[in-house]
Amino acid sequence: MIAEPRARHREVDPHARLLARTRRRLAAVVLALVGALVLAIGVATALTAVRVIDAEADRALQASSDAFVARLDGSITGAIASPPAGQGASDDGSGDGDSGQGSATEAEEDERPPAESDTFHLVLAPDGALAANPGRVPLGSLPDADAVSAAASAGSDLRTVEVNGTRVRLLTVPVAHDGAVAGYVQSGYVLTLRDRQVQTIVLTVAIVGLLGLLGAAVVTVLVVGRALVPIRAAFETERRFVADASHEIRTPAAIIRASAEVLDREGLVTDDGRPLVADMVAEADRLGRLVDDLLALDASDRGTLVLDRRPTDLRALAAETVERARPLADERGVGLDGPGAGPPLVADVDPDRLIQVLLVLVDNATRHSPVGMPVTVDVVPSADVVEVRVDDHGPGVPADAREAIFEPFARLPGERRGRSAGSGLGLAIARRIVELHGGSIRVTDAPGGGARFVVAVPLTRTHAS
């Protein structure tokens, strides 16, 4: 007799499996909610910070432009009339060697690139041509003609442009003199420092968010684990109650059955009462089977289910199961076909327990198959396992219920409880017995319609006929 190790019991314990699945789902939901909250807070924080920085930059640019225009006062006409040093009067701002104002090379040497957050100003003629470049900044694509046109229409224009590969916030305002537009001032604010600050903010928010998620994950796992402690304790209490109640019920059920048989055998009831006695015996048998199932379920949960393993030909074992179940199939008007001839397929199993599993599957198949349709039991080798397949022609099992039906007392949608419906424990017990053998059990669609239950256990060896 071989008792399975405790580790194996924990591996197949359905309560542990249910708790683990619940823990994963609960942790995933909590983390998803926390993640969404952290993401929303991070995005809001970053956007708010960027808007504050942009607003401050625009205010600083507006104030600098206003101060520059105030300093010009009425001298903008003189600035337009006298091109800036080092530049000719041409619209493109290029130097003219014959102008007497210095060559283009000299002008380029006088240019100084603005720093990361510098503000500069350009004085433009009414037609948008450059009139003065007090800061001697490299012009590149400046002055911006589109900005001048927009400022002429709207009274001012604020936009972001790229100058010599550098992003610049550009403010264009008209300057009036004697009631007419005497020219324009284009003020620029270099955004290099601003962009670096925004990148730092976004990176900081991202790092803090990730650290927050990691911390939330740790806290979630701990909290969820503690939250499931009462549920785990409730499972243990339920398990003890079921086991104790099953033991207590077994004796009264046996006494009721024995008493009913005595009444019938000794002729202590009238002919009209005999059907009632027969019902008492049948219900006592049904109650006894339910108690046995509950005790088997409890034994598998506790890891005390004992297996008597020995090399067994599964083809012969399946054939024996078919013969045992044939009277039941005949009673239900369902055909039952066993495995065909073939070489032995040997595995180290407990034959009695495996017959118990197959009887559960055959009983389930014959119960759901239409009258006159066959149930087929077949045994085939597959890689390093041997599969016992039970096919029926019933309604099948929906894909979303193929795992749930192996839980205790599980039933398909629309399936009614009744005298012929079974206890709802057979498939749960079958799975635990198979898993204790190191195998697996699953349900798929049968090739001809209906359900196919597949029991797979490790194959020991294949014998030739």
Buried b (16+ CB within 10 A) or exposed e, 211-224: ebbeebeeebeeeb
Percent of the chain with pLDDT over 70: 77
Chain mean pLDDT for the chain: 79
Q: What is residue 316's predicted lDDT score, i.e. its pLDDT?
A: 92
For 367-396, what is the mean pLDDT? 90
Residue 398, CA distances (Å) to 226, 291, 404, 416, 450 in order: 35, 29, 10, 16, 10
Q: Are 313 and 345 in contact (CB under 8 A)?
A: yes
Kindly report which listed range (139-153, 265-279, 319-333, 353-367) carries the lowest average pLDDT score: 265-279
Reported residue count of the chain is 465
Phi, psi of 132 (to 5 degrees): -155, 145
Q: Are 390 and 365 in contact (CB under 8 A)?
A: yes
* Secondary structure element (H or E) that encloses residue 26, with its range: helix 14-72
The token pair at 157 is 């224009």
> CA-to-CA distance for 202 and 45, rounded, in angstroms?
9
**Are 151 and 174 spatial neighbours (Cβ–Cβ below 8 Å)?**
yes
Rounded to whole angstroms, how far apart are CA atoms 375 and 389? 10
Q: Which of 6-20, 38-52, 79-93, 364-378 has the lowest mean pLDDT?
A: 79-93
* The model's pTM: 0.50
* Contact (Cβ atoms closer than 8 angstroms) between residue 377 and residue 362: yes
Compare 83 and 119 and report the one with higher pLDDT. Answer: 119
**In this structure, is the dihedral angle defined by the CA atoms of residues 253, 426, 416 and 21, taken in order, positive or negative?**
positive
Q: Is 417 exposed, middle or buried (0-12, 13-18, 19+ CB in 10 A)?
A: exposed
Percent of the chain with pLDDT over 90: 24
Mean pLDDT of 136-165: 89
Categorize the per-residue pLDDT at 47 as very low, low, confident or very high, splitting at 50, 70 and 90.
very high
Asked if the model's pLDDT at residue 62 lies above 90, the reply is: yes
Is residue 305 classed as helix, strand or coil in its secondary structure? coil
Residue 431 structure tokens: 């799975």
Answer yes or no: is pLDDT of 7 > 50.
Answer: no
Mean pLDDT of 419-435: 75
| β-bridge mates for residue 348, sequence order | 311
pLDDT band at 239 (very low <50, low <70, confident <90, very high): low
Beta carbons of 357 and 436 less than 8 angstroms apart? no
User: Read out DSSP for 281-296?
Assistant: HHHHHHHHHHHHHHHH
pLDDT digits (tens, 9 = 90+) for 172-189: 999 887 778 888 999 999
Least trusted range by pLDDT, from 45-54, 153-162, 244-253, 398-407: 244-253
